[in-house]
Structure 1
Amino acid sequence: MIGKMIGAFVGSKAAQSSKSLGGPTGAVLGVLAPAILRRVSLPAMIAIGAGGYLVKKVMDKDAKRQGEPAVTPLKNKDGLAAA
C-alpha cells in the first residue's frame, strides 16, 4: 500500500513537468507502473528501453532540423536533473 502511494506521488510530480500529462494521470501511471513491470519479461523491458532511446533520438533530430530546442531530461526546482 505504501509503495502505491509513493508511486502515485512520484508519478504525479513527474507529470507536472510534462505538457501532455496532468497530475492525476501521472498518479495513475505511477501506481500502475510497478504492477506492469512485475509482469513484463526481461527481453520486453530491454526492447521497451531501446525503443524509447530510438524515439528520443528521432525526436531530437527532428527538433534540431526544425530549429526547436531538443527534448531535455526532467529538472527539479534547483535546475538539477531528476534521478
Structure 2
Amino acid sequence: MIGRIIGAMVGREIDRRDGAGGIKGAAMGWIAAGALRRMGPLGLVLGGGYVAKKIYDRAKGRGRI
C-alpha cells in the first residue's frame, strides 16, 4: 500500500516536470511503484526520499523554509 502511494507521488512529480499532464505521469508512477516494490525496503526509502526532496524544494521556493 505504501509503495503504491509513493509510486503515485513519483508519477505526479514526473508529470509536473513534464507539464503536459495526462497518461505519461500515471504510467511512470505505475512503473516506479513496481520497481520500488521489487527493490523491497530500500526502494521504499529511495522513493520516499525523492518525494520528500521534491516537497522540500517546493516549500523552499515558496519561502516557507
User: Structure 2 length normalisation: TM-score?
Assistant: 0.45
User: Structure 1 length normalisation: TM-score?
Assistant: 0.39
**Looking at CA atoms only, which structure, 1 or 2, has the larger radius of gyration?**
1
Structure with greater proportional helix content: 2
